[in-house]
Chains A and B, each alone.
Chain A
């Protein structure tokens, strides 16, 4: 794959550089990792939005947007997510590579400088962010949280995780709580900004053709001069499920949603995760998986029924949309497929096709900027593995190991969303 040069440039700060001339764009992303905490998640989420709204050099939203537009429609983006029990705040700048500019514009250098400005020189006046800017972003973040209820598949998965992990930090939503978002002030956000730069483990990823030397220097000097105290990052892995928790919610929907959450009994950095990944693919990761072939195609119960494994938290989720009167049948159908794997009912074809499908996904990721970024990003906080190494690990998994992986699964929580009053839809 494209060669990656990862170096430490300050205390808890790493810079990964992928020089690649195949793409017409460049991307620089700064990934800040902090422990996921109910006390700080909301402020960090709001802060990330406020930071990318304006900065010292472009002190209002329109000025900043116009600058990006003039740089050939460059993007300045923010993404807040959970990575295990860390909150990951990603700030990124992406744009056209200099070679394709219509004039002699130096897009990569300008964008890198802009991103540094957004992170290190925010629009702070008299020890506070500009109140009207904060209010705008607060309103929109609260909208985003309300909007999570709109897409029911996403909502149902979110609810399952919240319920299943209610006593763990993983149960904290990525944006924290509405109350804490409302409680943040232009002053407290400045403190949050300082804490974030002081305590986050920072992974910077650059992908592009132009050398990123200038950006590296800015990060090295600015972060090097700070009194950095990078936080210890840890994810609690729970292996025993206990009694199955069940929750049913009602809404005026035509299709019911079923989400089943399992403790997978394997998580990073254990080597057993590779068997777990493959088992999840055999179960419900491809169009030849057991759930697709049997629950969808043979029983015609649903349009989608998929399995996903989170190797950082060590949980596996299966989700589907179904007629309300078929919920129990669907749940039995899903359990039957898992039991089959536990009993070794796995064909060579199922093993091979899952391996090939995963190999294809891994190998394809090297052909796009977003794919490379996701690859590097997926390995944060662990020893770096190349695509070839992961392909080799995947293909080395035996049927017996897949059986063992399935045997480790313990059903923890079942969440159902269905129409109100009875089972007619």
Chain B
């Protein structure tokens, strides 16, 4: 077992990375003076992993939404559900499925050891039967319908549908009522057996804990796992978008939009991520000229935001928010970017954005849930959080300018609009 300490002078913190004998990668981030602890275990398996094979085995294709369905069902075992077991420790437990990972977590102020045992136990103990699978259809069906009524969710997926020809990131994480009807206990086991291998997983714990404490529980609970090669298959995705515009009528009074720029999808190291984050703040944070111009023209309000949206095989930059005139807002953003590419960025803007991004990333180390989730995200993209914070502090103006050259092609973007149904 190999234990590495990772320190940050700037942030004044350190944490430990352990390659556990079972195959699991374990991170422990002790926070002095904290009463609570937060633990999260994740597998590199999300909604986009719908076509895969193991070692030299056959290619398996599974229904959309199955990773999320599995997340719901893993809480159950033959003896009952994990929530009931957590109830005895008082821990607050939850789980989530994203495009590229599935995570199970709890936070607690007492009985940490017992809660971690429960977490490691139920995640290693699948129990799927025809009956328990059927019961979940109604619950997840209502979860899907809840998202169908969410304009924020719809505006994004409509955009992704126009951006990606093939990549499954365009499909709803929970699938559809039709796709989940095809899910069976057997298919859930197929997915579980491939992706819930400890070599494909990580555990992050932050807060009132020690390395010894966490490792003692891992030693007790986890048996060594055989390593396998997992192959994920994605169809070749062209550089170009599918189509530049989509709109949907919706029961809203306030229209909203997403303007998404399709980017080349390449694995992103800490330096590139830092450059990109600083660049986007320079372009569109409330300090920017663009933000000011959009506001003065009454084209956006304080819901305006931007995001780098990236993962395995997909990458885009999304600007969005509420707007009474989404087309004009999108046009102004595109023109601003095109003009700035000719004129070049401002050094003063750069210096402010660098400081702001640095402040934000250090502030994130306050909260045990933030820390554990951030480490998990960095782990699955082969990055490290303190390296990222240093990269932000050390990024230069020239690097950001060079990054700008490679991004935000105004001829390769999609506008998605949600408009009030009264306007039909």
Is A356 a contact of B359 with CB atoms below 8 Å?
no
Point out the residues of chain A lying under 8 angstroms from B285, CB to CB. 65, 69
B113 interface hit (Cβ, 8 Å): no
| Candidates A70, A71, A252; contact of B251 at CB < 8 Å | A252
Is B253 a contact of A22 with CB atoms below 8 Å?
no
Is A24 a contact of B355 with CB atoms below 8 Å?
no
Is B108 a contact of A360 with CB atoms below 8 Å?
yes
Is B90 a contact of A356 with CB atoms below 8 Å?
yes
Please report the total number of A residues contacting B with Cβ < 8 Å.
67
Residue of A nearest to B143 (CB): A303
Please judge, given known A-B contacts A25-B366, A72-B359, A287-B93, whether A254 and B292 are in contact too, CB under 8 Å: no
Please judge, given known A-B contacts A95-B359, A252-B421, A367-B207, whether A66 and B89 are in contact too, CB under 8 Å: no
Point out the residues of chain B lying under 8 angstroms from A136, CB to CB. 295-296
Cα separation A30 to B322 with both chains bound (whole Å): 29
Per-position 1/0 for B257-290, Cβ under 8 A of A? 0000000000000000000000001000111000
Within 8 A of B (CB), among A43-68: 61-62, 65-66, 68
B130 smallest CB distance to A (angstroms): 15
Point out the residues of chain B lying under 8 angstroms from A95, CB to CB. 359
| Candidates A21, A24, A321, A353; contact of B142 at CB < 8 Å | A321
Cα separation A360 to B110 with both chains bound (whole Å): 8
Interface centre among A73, A100, A254 (most CB of B within 10 A): A73
Per-position 1/0 for A128-149, Cβ under 8 A of B? 0000000010011001101101
Within 8 A of B (CB), among A67-92: 68-74
Point out the residues of chain A lying under 8 angstroms from B10, CB to CB. 100, 102
Is B363 a contact of A25 with CB atoms below 8 Å?
yes
Please judge, given known A-B contacts A286-B87, A367-B35, whether A61 and B322 are in contact too, CB under 8 Å: no
B393 interface hit (Cβ, 8 Å): yes
Cα separation A368 to B148 with both chains bound (whole Å): 34
Is A143 a contact of B145 with CB atoms below 8 Å?
no
Point out the residues of chain B lying under 8 angstroms from A149, CB to CB. 251-254
Cα separation A364 to B31 with both chains bound (whole Å): 13
Please judge, given known A-B contacts A61-B292, A252-B251, whether A349 and B87 are in contact too, CB under 8 Å: yes
Point out the residues of chain A lying under 8 angstroms from B295, CB to CB. 61, 136
Point out the residues of chain A lying under 8 angstroms from B145, CB to CB. 254-255, 321, 323, 425
Is A303 a contact of B139 with CB atoms below 8 Å?
yes
B393 smallest CB distance to A (angstroms): 6
B382 interface hit (Cβ, 8 Å): no
Point out the residues of chain A lying under 8 angstroms from B358, CB to CB. 72-73, 102
Within 8 A of B (CB), among A1-50: 21-25
> Which of A112-120, A236-244, A294-302 is found at the contact surface with chain B?
A294-302
B362 interface hit (Cβ, 8 Å): yes
Residue of B nearest to A151 (CB): B150
A242 smallest CB distance to B (angstroms): 32
Cα separation A302 to B365 with both chains bound (whole Å): 36
Please report the total number of B residues contacting A with Cβ < 8 Å.
76
Per-position 1/0 for B64-97, Cβ under 8 A of A? 0000000000000000010110111111110000
Point out the residues of chain A lying under 8 angstroms from B88, CB to CB. 352-353, 356
Per-position 1/0 for B349-370, Cβ under 8 A of A? 0001101111110110111100
A152 interface hit (Cβ, 8 Å): yes
Residue of B nearest to A23 (CB): B366
Cα separation A363 to B295 with both chains bound (whole Å): 42
Is B139 a contact of A302 with CB atoms below 8 Å?
yes
Is A288 a contact of B83 with CB atoms below 8 Å?
yes
Is B287 a contact of A300 with CB atoms below 8 Å?
no
Point out the residues of chain A lying under 8 angstroms from B357, CB to CB. 73
Is B301 a contact of A140 with CB atoms below 8 Å?
yes
Within 8 A of A (CB), among B133-150: 135-140, 142-143, 145-146, 148-150
Is B148 a contact of A254 with CB atoms below 8 Å?
yes
Is A255 a contact of B366 with CB atoms below 8 Å?
no
Is A69 a contact of B352 with CB atoms below 8 Å?
yes
A322 interface hit (Cβ, 8 Å): yes
A381 interface hit (Cβ, 8 Å): no
Is B355 a contact of A72 with CB atoms below 8 Å?
yes
Cα separation A292 to B353 with both chains bound (whole Å): 45
Is A65 a contact of B286 with CB atoms below 8 Å?
yes
Is B287 a contact of A102 with CB atoms below 8 Å?
no
B305 interface hit (Cβ, 8 Å): no
B57 interface hit (Cβ, 8 Å): no
Residue of B nearest to A252 (CB): B251
Per CB-CB distance, the 5 closest pairs between chain A and chain B, nearest first, are A72-B359, A73-B356, A356-B90, A300-B138, A353-B87
9 residue pairs from A and B, CB less than 8 Å apart: A66-B287, A69-B287, A70-B352, A72-B355, A143-B303, A147-B322, A252-B251, A252-B421, A368-B367
